[in-house]
Chain A
């Protein structure tokens, strides 16, 4: 039998299908768009197609993410905080602190040796430092969001950007472009702003990081520049899974398996 996890976020809808041995047999990441029900169907359809199974082979599904209540045929809806902790424990074993930066939320999660959440902190009201922030900045720089990842190469880090507000930061980027500042420096400034904001979340759940293992999940973890900047700020190595977007959906799939036994 198979177990499905669906993570319906603000920017992407992720699906993971696992088998009885907890092995990932298929995963999918699709844009959420304006209709999240459509995205859920698309992501589910993709994992079924990739794995070659029948829909009836799926014994149970669990949903997570901000749209978790919108998923039909679920046996439970569990928050992304709990699901990311579960997912990261599965792929890396012991992780003490998980940083999850998604489309509109960033979170730091403190996890015990059993993969259970023992504390967490989420970003304050503004989406600064999240996927939305990067999306807005990519637009201002007129580059594809995936290109941002390594555009900071060779920068000297002489640009400081507002880490408090997405709108202000976007205005700042536009001004810097007008002033002829090199793109690599602007991107480095953006990465540092995100890292600065995220590091305070990390400190809230782990004031002292010495000796702790830190991982990162969520779509923003695919951005190497952000991960590098964050490592510099928290002065700790950060482990990133090859598909950081699917950690939440993996956790949900694992819960589907547990809860249906």
Chain B
């Protein structure tokens, strides 16, 4: 069923792109690559791995492993409108209804045998222990080996060495679990592609900072976190280039992503993943645009192709979600200034301790630089747990406040 879904999605997107090759198509190219990853995960032919967030997908890609972080599945189920049944299934097996719905959705799908059996699993200790617990559940169910990357929080030479040694152990683990031999030259080629995609993404983000911004509120939704799955591949470069080119063309022609852009907003953490026209409503009603998401940023230096494990270790440690809230808040302040935003929206995803636990610190931190925050207290995955009227009132009042 899932294989057919991704296959159909792939062919319909290919058709649309081919029909209008000169139209803006960055988002379609991105979705096409996502569909291809989904298809490979469910093909039954590829070597696959389920992972946590922050895993070095370039290492996995260059070793011929199709891999994906588990939260992606929760988001995908929500976007297709199917998450409710799976969440209910997870609750039936004892998961608390106030735990993270990203994780409940995948656990429900797991119990319904809708998750393909991996060759191995890779967990990370960031950004949360809930995600790691899901991967442990999967490893137990599939009776497959799990490798856990213990990611240190502080950026120090000692910690970088500690993590890069673990990355080398990960490579040995993958060789042992799959029988695939590690090829250093392939990794070097992959890192060159990672660096190229990085440069293009930085260019795209810099263009998004322009006033008015060439982005609308939807085009960069989930972009940064999901494009990580394509690192080390030509597809990653193609998608990043499509974004850069589309934004450049708009900037050159003076076209803004949102007509008459008045309000520039920062979205904190994850977007609402189920089909809901919040962004469109904000654009039409208030000429307000989400020009930047917290998860859309490059926080790492170019990776040295002759020392890839050190560079990748630095990249993983640099993720703003890794470590103290203070690191995250400094990053949010940086984004707010860079993108000249007037307000930030924090969904405070239900059940996410980082989403809700750091709520006050984030509000206070951004307030220090004159950026107000509205906390929505919503569930980004479980539509059953979503009150539209309250959300619209909060956002409308927030925009009225900013406008005054």
Contacts and interface: CB of A to CB of B under 8 A. Distances in A.
Interface of A: 66, 78-82, 105, 116-122, 124-125, 204
B401 A66 contact: no
Contacts of A121: 375
B203 interface: no
14 contacts: A66-B389, A79-B393, A79-B400, A81-B393, A81-B400, A81-B401, A116-B401, A117-B401, A118-B401, A120-B401, A121-B375, A122-B390, A125-B377, A125-B385
Nearest to B364: A207
Contact of A105 (B375, B390, B401): B390
Interface of A is mostly: mixed
Interface of B is mostly: helix
B397 A120 contact: yes
A79 B396 contact: yes
Given A105-B390, A119-B372, A122-B390, A82 B377 contact: no
B372 A79 contact: no
Given A124-B377, A125-B387, A66 B393 contact: yes
| Residue of A66, A79, A117, A120 with most chain B CB atoms under a 10 A cut-off | A79
Interface string B378-398: 000000010101100110111
Range, interface on chain B: 10 to 19
Contacts of B393: 66, 79-81, 105, 122
A82 B389 contact: no
A153 B186 CA distance: 80
Contacts of A117: 397, 400-401, 404
A149 B387 CA distance: 30
Interface of B: 350, 360, 372, 375, 377, 385, 387, 389-390, 393-394, 396-398, 400-401, 404
Top 7 A-B pairs ranked by shortest CB distance? A81-B397, A79-B397, A117-B401, A82-B400, A79-B396, A116-B404, A66-B389
Contacts of B404: 82, 116-117
Contacts of B375: 121
Contacts of B350: 125
Nearest to B401: A117
Contacts of B385: 125
A74 to B, nearest CB: 14
A87 B393 CA distance: 18
B142 to A, nearest CB: 35
A122 B359 CA distance: 14
A117 B396 CA distance: 12
A78 B393 CA distance: 9
B400 A78 contact: yes
A156 B314 CA distance: 61
A204 B372 CA distance: 13
Contacts of A120: 397-398, 401
Given A81-B393, A81-B397, 14 more contacts: A66-B389, A80-B397, A81-B400, A81-B401, A82-B400, A82-B404, A105-B393, A117-B404, A118-B401, A119-B372, A121-B375, A122-B390, A122-B393, A125-B377
